[in-house]
Structure 1
Amino acid sequence: MNIKQKASCLLLLCCALNSTTAQVRITPQAELRAKSLVEKMTLEEKIDYISGVRSFYIRAIPRLGIPEIRMADGPQGIRNNTQSTMYPSGILSASTWNRELVRELGNGLGRDAKARGVSILLGPGVNIYRSPLCGRNFEYFGEDPYLSSETAKQYILGVQDKGVIATVKHFAANNQEWSRHHASSDVDERTLQEIYFPSFRKAVQEAGVGAVMDSYNPVNGVHATENAWMNIEILRKQWGFKGILMSDWTSVYSTVGAANGGLDLEMPIGKFMIKEKLIPVIENGIVKEKTIDEKVQHILQTLITFGLFDNPLEDKSIEKDNAESKATALNLAREGIVMLKNDDNVLPLKKGHTLIIGPNADMIPTGGGSGFVTPYSTVSVYEGLTQIKGDKKITLLSDSLLYKDISKNIFTDNSLKTQGFTGYYFKDKKLSGKPCHQETTTRINYAWKYGSPYPDIQDDHFSAQWKGIYKAEQSGTIRFQISGDDGYRILVNGKTITGDWGNHALSSRNAFMQVEKDSLYQLQIDYFENVGEATIKFQAGMLDKKLLNYELKKADNVVMCLGFDSNIESEGFDRPFALPYGQEFLIDEVTKVHNNVITVINSGGGIDFRNWRNKVKAILMAWYPGQEGGKAIAEILTGKISPSGKLPISIEEKWEDNPTFNNYYDKRNVPHKRVQYAEGIFVGYRGYDRTGKQPLYPFGFGLSYSQFTYENLQLRKKQKNQVEVSFELKNTGKMNAAEVAQIYVKDCKASVPRPLKELKGYEKVFLKKGETKRITILLNEDAFSFYDTDKKNFVIEKGDFEILVGPSSSELPLKGIINL
């Protein structure tokens, strides 16, 4: 290539970079065109337009040339009646601390959306990780508003680079799934502005996000979809948002409240924002027609700005099972997995034979709800290790081999003549009265979807019960597994041993029981369906301890793949802090026999390590690593790459240590629950710094196969309260690796309570062994400000600020003072 060609290529590259960094903004031309269309619409057409149709669509108006617009979940891949690339979960993306890679994630999601004719992507989710119990933490970007907002910004820019509208959600303070429709998040103004609003603000002001989704919960007693202060005063007037404000699915609770509260679009279909309810209140002057016009205007001008009126909505030239998207999913997993422990340098795996065990060894789990994706293919940890080490050096002991099915030893009654359960079906939810149907079945594995077991049973509000007698063939440990949507429970000899007896999406429970040879046990499985889908599944197996010990004694290394999945961690309900009891039980059994045990944990957040952490040599926090996750995990286990992920959360030793412990659930016996955010701005590491309690694993922490040193800090004051921070970072280890350098700011003397330190800058840097780089990061004035509730604005108090630099929030070797 000659000099002229190189210059031409460089110019093209610069143009490409400039085009992809531009935000999408609502243009005056789009506003005028939208206004013209609104003027041509009848009142009935306008009202119809502000509610969805067919669940994930904005309706067409053919006479005006307005196309039907398709939406789709979700945060980590396109779902809703399609297969697509399953990217890692949001919390893993945040764990990469890599802006460029998250931008590639957004590009991949945009590309996958265009290939399917999806014009509005319902992501990213940016709600702050307040507690490990929230069922949707896996979708979000962690506990820190700066890291979350930077991650969200790149995700949105990446999606919208491809002409697809991103939707930042859930606005706001939706930090738990427990009672999400009814429990009010009661948060003071400063805490909202400093902790819970920043990701939304940056999405609007710096990423130009096209859509915002309101949350289910009330905020300070007013549902988000009716909260005019949030939706109009903050979002529209303060931040200048001109895009679409939509509801979450079925999160609209009144007509007048939603109409006057700033909501543009009710999803998935109209229940309150419909002609029958709006026209009377418009005629009575309670809602103005101008208000309806503004909603339609917001939707239309956004669609026009993104070219959705003038360009094909589907790009058939893009492969749906896309190699570029698959590569992005792999690269994210490689950089987002966090190594929490590596005693005796047990990792990378030494030569010899490796046993893979655990419920997630031969599958890639993910969280449930709108974050669930159906991929074309996956690579499990077992498959990934086999690809690298060869199948002769890897043995899989799957759950199906480890727990022997006991169904042949379950009988309908004490005569032990007929195998199976006797099933009874009832036409109400209470298992009451005489059963309307009775049957014998050897398996309880039903997915009636939106139907029922029999034609004469209504699709909702029915129940069922199965009874059987189990005769133990031998003494040992039985594992019971049950899952259901809605309520379910297992009783043994009349005593409930596990269950989830309430209205909820699909969830799962395990229970373990010791049995004696030749003893009889009465089994009873109860189930009720409330509304929606109907599912109940049950199975039981006996631990094959002889096989387990045989395989353990052959192995040089043991990799245990444990954690949660979409049945335990999901939208719609909160999850436990501890691993399922059976997994802790399995760790005990394995570590009694073997010393070199490595655990790979799938989870959307912190878990309880207390009972088993000291029994294992190494821990990888793999989160939900996406379809290529097993390959990335295998590469880290074998040392092909060094782990470089850092925690976007603090992991407490016990749940009681969490700053929100005393005010996460409203335990009062009242119909209207109110969750007091009494910790204020002191959430996550800010709270631990304030109380002096040390988390088990601090925010920003993550081990590497290499080592790094930080030296020669320099601080330079720039214009407008900006500070340039520069320092040298050196890889002093024996392996090429990446390090995340983190910058925290401390206000040395403040007139209001402020955190001991706050993350305000970071950079992920790849260094060859022995290499040194000088890193320079500019801190803008918002790195030093706090929200003044009297002035209703962010302010900087003049004085000294301490700049702290290092590899995690608990290890900051470089410190310097700057006066502003």
Structure 2
Amino acid sequence: MTRKIITACLILLAFNANAQQSLPLYLDDAKPVEQRIEDALSRMTTEEKIAMIHAQSKFSSPGVKRLGIPENWMTDGPHGIRSEVRWDEWEQAGWTNDSCIAFPALTALSSTWNRDLATLYGKSLGEEARYRNKNVLLGPGINMYRSPLNGRNFEYMGEDPFLAGEMVVPYIKAVQLNGVAACVKHFALNNQETNRHGVNVIVDDRALYEIYLPAFKAAVQKGGAWAIMGAYNKYKGQQACHNEYLLQDILRKEWGFDGVVVADWGGVHNTKEAIFNGLDMEFGTWTDGLTWGKSNAYDNYYLAVPYLKMIESGEVGTKELDEKVRNILRLTFRTTMNRSRPFGSFATEEHALAGRKIAEEGIVLLKNKNALLPIDAKKHKRIAVIGENAIKMMTVGGGSSSLKALYEVSPLDGIKKRAGKDFEVVYARGYVGDASGDYNGVVSGQNLKDSRSAAELKAEALKVAKDADIVIFIGGLNKSDLQDSEGNDRKGLELPYGQDELISAIAKANTNIIFLNISGNAVAMPWEKQVPAIVQGWFLGTEAGNAIASVLFGDANPSGKLTFTFPIALKDNAAHANNAFPGGDEVIYTESIFTGYRWHEKQNIKPLFPFGHGLSYTTFKYSDIKADKASIGQNETVTVSVKVKNTGKRSGAEVVQLYVADLKSSLPRPVKELKGFDKVYLKAGEEKTVTITIDKEDLSYFDDKKHDWVAEAGDFELLVGASSQDIKGKVKITLR
């Protein structure tokens, strides 16, 4: 044993023997966190504090090595743990052990309407992040679905603030049980990709508080989120990443947030605003890193040397700096310096199967005329699968949520595997959309190039369709630019690559056609009356093909419900009806609180498929809808009960939805608003009673004059239904 090793061992023994006497307060995890924070802060130099509040690489920020305070490591994203990139470049680091499980997109998770699956999702994703030693997960995203053209809608949880809030809370809690902070994004009003860095959002306070903030408030106050990411856009003329009203007045003062505010990459634009307006950590200001032109671009971030010079000159003090570091230290003690956090696990079969379960429950059966689904082996021996999305990998691309997946089962492979020897499966491409398969150096490995003309592809598809007993057309969108992808918005509601014309032609060739829409957005369906079965498939991750096959063949009974409205035409959407999307240097939310189904009901516009809609392979009967009291006081609750019976021949699940209607209000209110839901699982013939409790908060609206929530005394209707349009019954109550 060398002298150095012997010396080190003696020092360690001495340290352990005197641990109680010599351990610094900030390292003693038996002490209260706030005391540890103040002790650590008192030991740090101004230069060390400045270093902590900005990046040192693409995805990390420094700790204080001298004090044993570790670095912070961030990772995209909300659907899986991003592969490693080089220290200061977007190019791949070339690791061979960073291929993750790709989970379904958050549109799919929210469409399960299942809080337990949100917990499972967060637990699984948190374990993957923890294993890769990431202490901040950049997600989930909960911006509201305002327009079906928003390129990032697939990363979010739909158009309803109550639903998004209910689904995000268990996700956050489960992620953070792994000692990994959920960084909820993008705060706030990030509802488009067009001019996202410069557009100034003009929205009234009622819409801000009733539509665009509630899910974030739930994330903070109910979910206990440890981090929030600022948005790219402006609000009140100030960038959201250093917006005094959003970050100081609302997030900190009104909601009591004690976590870290992280800038979206490239979202910081001004040193003084970043100092005083509530930002804690600056990332990605110059996304080309060291090639920006300085010897070290990170030192020239807005919250780096420019801030330090302002302190040294006396232009600003250190009060705000200390507060930022306190927030970062609090994050550190909750994550990297939490000795009891678990070790996590990565790319496991358990996680893949969790993703498959979520995918199966998130798939939405939109239409099933004449019970064409599930596929019947007695009737449908020869299956034609048509469409590029049957074979195209969807885990690669789409922006920051792009993943290097351990594997991805395509819909075609899932169908073939499930079909086995009982069916004959024939495939035709039908159309060529995007043959590429790489993003930031992650390559799918697929060669989708096809030199045939559109006419040749169509002819092949029609021949295959005519010869089949049933056709599954697997199309929709993909994660290419100008589709479901970060950075740009879609140009229209129609399907790309000539799919609408092709679907119509195939429907004439074979009336037994199923359309499976792979997308994170609503699409127009001008051929809807020609197609008897329509399924919303989402981006479903690693186990996509197996989950899709399970539903199509009836191994899994679909139970997903839409979390946003499918309009018939773009003009039926509120933002587009008012020509208020995407705007120019500013965008005005002229529709105010009337977004999504609220707009359709206010204007009496029939949707293609309504919010909350989703069919099953069985049927359900609602009965005996009642409230436990006819009137309630301001501090009381009311419980609505309904009996739900499975009247079909197979097990299934139904989402019972509770909407509130204010029968007389001082201010305009929606026809009804979702304020409760529960998912009930029933065997064939089984009946259960579902109960949902609401309180004064669920009856309230935001009074912008009083800047407060108001629940006016008077009559309300509580409506119970299977969707926003399929109301099964209602009861009246009075708020005293």
- TM-score, with normalisation over the residues of structure 1? 0.78
Aligned counterparts of 1:752 and 1:562: Cα–Cα separation in 2: 44
Partner of 1:280: 309
How does 1:512-527 map onto structure 2 within 5 Å?
none
Q: Pick one of 594, 619, 644 that aligns with 1:707.
A: 619
In the alignment, structure 1 residue 541 sits paired with structure 2 residue 567: no
Amino acid at match of 2:326: Q
Change (3 A) 1:727 1:545: closer
Any idea what the Cα deviations from partners look like across 1:95-143, whole Å, max 9, x if unmatched? 0000001110000001111111111111100000001000000000000
Deviation at 1:394, TM superposition (A): 3.4
Q: Does residue 773 of structure 1 match 2:688?
A: yes
Bigger share in strand: 1
How much has 1:179 moved relative to structure 2? 0.7
Q: Distance in 2 between matches of 1:788 and 1:28?
A: 43
Q: Please show how residues 270-309 of structure 1 align to structure 2 within 5 Å.
A: 270=298, 271-283=300-312, 285-306=314-335, 308-309=336-337
The separation in 1 between residues aligned to 2:345 and 2:700, in whole angstroms, is 47
Q: How does 1:1-12 map to 2 (within 5 A)?
A: none
Is 2:663 the counterpart of 1:748? yes
Give the distance between the partners of 1:749 and 1:39, measured in 2 at CA: 57
Q: State how far apart, in whole Å, the 2-side matches of 1:481 and 1:702 are.
A: 30
CA deviation after TM superposition for structure 1 residue 624, in Å: 0.8
Which one of 573, 576, 579 corresponds to residue 495 of structure 2?
A: 579
Classify the secondary structure of the residue corresponding to 2:32.
helix
Go from structure 1 to structure 2 and tell me whether the alpha carbon gap of 1:222 and 1:274 turns closer, same or farther (over 3 Å shift): closer
Question: Is contact 1:253–1:272 with CA below 8 Å preserved after alignment?
Answer: no
Residue of structure 1 in register with 2:290 after alignment: none
Cα separation, 1, equivalents of 2:35 and 2:162:
36
CA distance in 1: counterparts of 2:650 and 2:434, whole angstroms: 44
Q: Shift of the alpha carbon at 1:391?
A: 5.2
Q: Tell me, what secondary structure is at the counterpart of 2:400?
A: helix
Structure 2 CA distance for aligned equivalents of residues 724 and 481 of structure 1:
51
Q: Is the 8 A contact 1:356 1:394 kept in 2?
A: no
Instruction: Work out whether residues 365 and 564 of structure 1, in 8 Å CA contact, stay in contact via their aligned partners in 2.
Output: no
Match of 1:369? Answer: 399
Return the alpha-carbon distance in structure 2 between the equivalents of residues 139 and 275 of structure 1: 31
* Structure 1 contact 646–700 (Cα < 8 Å) conserved: yes
Percent identical residues: 41
Question: 2:103: which partner in 1?
Answer: 87
Once residues 784 and 298 of structure 1 are traced to their aligned partners in structure 2, the CA distance between those partners, rounded to angstroms, is 35
Distance 1:322 1:102 in 2: 18
Instruction: Write the deviation string for residues 603-632 of structure 1: whole angstroms up to 9, x where unpaired.
Output: 11100112x222222110001112112111
Cα distance in 2, alignment partners of residues 792 and 688 from structure 1:
27
The residue aligned with 1:521 is: none
Q: Is the 8 A contact 2:475 2:515 kept in 1?
A: yes
Would the aligned equivalents of 2:243 and 2:278 in 1 still touch at CA under 8 Å?
yes
1:32 is paired with a residue of what secondary structure? Answer: helix
* In 2, Cα distance between equivalents of 1:578 and 1:654: 9
Deviations 1:494-515 (A, max 9, x none): xxxxxxxxxxx99xxxxxxxxx
How big is the shift at 1:204?
Answer: 0.6
Among 636, 640, 643, the residue aligned to 2:558 = 643
What amino acid does structure 2 have at the position aligned with 1:224?
Answer: A
Alpha carbon RMSD of aligned pairs, Å?
2.2
Change in 2 beyond 3 A, CA 1:47/1:358:
same
Q: Matches of 1:113 and 1:795 in 2, distance apart?
A: 41
- 2:389·2:476 contact (CA, 8 Å) conserved in 1? yes
What is aligned with 1:113? 129
Matches within 5 A, 1:204-243: 204-243=220-259
Identify which of 421, 425, 430 aligns with 1:395. Answer: 425
Describe the shift of the 1:549–1:204 C-alpha distance in structure 2 as closer, same or farther (beyond 3 A). closer
Aligned equivalents of 2:41, 2:141: Cα separation in 1: 31
Any idea what the Cα deviations from partners look like across 1:27-65, whole Å, max 9, x if unmatched?
Answer: 992122112212211111111110012111121311011
- Check whether the contact 1:480–1:541 (CA below 8 A) recurs between aligned residues: no
Q: Is the 8 A contact 1:128 1:196 kept in 2?
A: yes
- Kept in 2: contact 1:362–1:398 (CA 8 A): no
Deviation of 1:591 after TM superposition, in Å, equals 2.3
Paired position in structure 2 for 1:358: 387
Structure 1 residue ranges (4+ consecutive) displaced by more than 6 angstroms after TM superposition: 482-485
| Aligned residues of 1:663 and 1:677 also touching (Cα < 8 A) | no
Query: Would you say 1:607 and 2:636 are equivalent positions?
Result: no
Q: State how 1:12-51 maps to structure 2 within 5 Å.
A: 29-51=32-54
2-structure distance, mates of 1:706, 1:132: 30
Deviation at 1:398, TM superposition (A): 4.5
Distance 1:72 1:230 in 2: 24
Per the TM alignment, residue 284 of structure 1 is displaced from its structure 2 partner at its CA by 5.1
Q: 2:154 aligns with which of 131, 134, 138?
A: 138
Kindly indicate whether the alpha-carbon contact (under 8 Å) linking 1:728 and 1:775 is maintained by their aligned counterparts in 2.
yes
Query: Distance in 1 between the 2:368 and 2:638 partners?
Result: 37
**Cα distance change of structure 1 residues 747 and 546 upon mapping to structure 2, 3 Å threshold:** closer
The SS at the match of 1:370 is coil
Whether 1:383 aligns to 2:413 is yes
Contact 1:652 1:695 in 2 (8 A): yes
Does the 8 Å CA contact 1:90/1:138 hold for their aligned counterparts? yes
| Per-residue Cα deviation, 1:283-306 (whole angstroms, up to 9, x for no partner) | 455532110110011010122033
CA contact (8 A) 2:194 2:582 kept: no
The structural deviation recorded for 1:589 is 3.6
Contact 1:116–1:314 (CA under 8 A) maintained in structure 2: no
* Farther-moved stretch of structure 1 (542-551 vs 731-740): 542-551
For the structure 1 residues 201 and 761, does the alpha-carbon distance in structure 2 shift closer, same or farther, using more than 3 Å as the test? same
Cα distance change on mapping 1:538 and 1:735 into 2, 3 Å? closer
Report if aligned partners of 2:662, 2:669 keep a CA contact under 8 Å in 1.
Answer: yes
Q: Quote the residue 2:707 is aligned against.
A: 792
- The residue type equivalent to 2:231 in the other structure is S
Shift of 1:483: 6.8
Which deviates the most, 588-597 or 736-745? Answer: 588-597
Q: Return the match for 2:591 from 663, 674, 679.
A: 679
2: CA distance between counterparts of 1:696 and 1:632? 25
Alignment of 1:694 with 2:601, yes or no, is: no
Shift in alpha-carbon separation, 1:183–1:482, aligned structure 2, 3 A = farther
Contact 1:213 1:248 in 2 (8 A): yes
Equivalence map 1:407-446=2 (5 Å): none
Secondary structure in 2 matching 1:729: strand
Distance (Å, rounded) in 1 between the aligned partners of 2:194 and 2:355? 30
Instruction: Give the CA deviation at 1:238.
Output: 0.7
Q: Distance in 1 between matches of 2:599 and 2:405?
A: 39
Q: How does 1:142-153 map to 2 (within 5 A)?
A: 142-153=158-169
Q: Counterpart of 1:424?
A: none
**Aligned residue pairs, count:** 661
* DSSP-derived class of the 2:389 partner: coil
| Cα separation, 2, equivalents of 1:732 and 1:667 | 49
Paired residue for 2:10? none
Structure 1: state its 5+ residue gaps: 1-25, 404-478, 486-504, 507-536
**1:249 counterpart (247, 265, 278):** 265
Structure 1 counterpart of 2:349: 323
Partner of 1:59: 62
Equivalents in 2 of 1:83, 1:585: separation in Å?
38
Q: Secondary structure at the match of 2:183?
A: strand
CA-CA distance at 1:396 after TM superposition: 3.8
CA shift at 1:251, angstroms? 0.5
Q: Decide whether aligned partners of structure 1 residues 314 and 759 sit closer, same or farther in structure 2, where only a CA change above 3 A counts.
A: closer
Distance in 2, matches of 1:274 and 1:740, equals: 48
- The 2-side partners of 1:724 and 1:678 are apart by 36
TM-score of the pair, normalised by structure 2: 0.86
Instruction: Name the counterpart of 1:166.
Output: 182
Q: Distance in 1 between matches of 2:240 and 2:61?
A: 21
Give yes or no for contact 1:44–1:275 (8 Å, CA) kept in 2. no
Name the stretch that deviates more: 774-783 or 94-103: 774-783
- CA shift, 1:547, in A, is 3.8
The DSSP-based 3-state class of the residue aligned with 2:639 is: strand
By how many angstroms is 1:257 displaced?
1.2
2:339 corresponds, among 286, 302, 311, to 311
- How far the C-alpha of 1:538 sits from its partner, in A, is 8.3
1:565 to 448, 470, 478: 478
1:551 matched to which residue of 2?
464
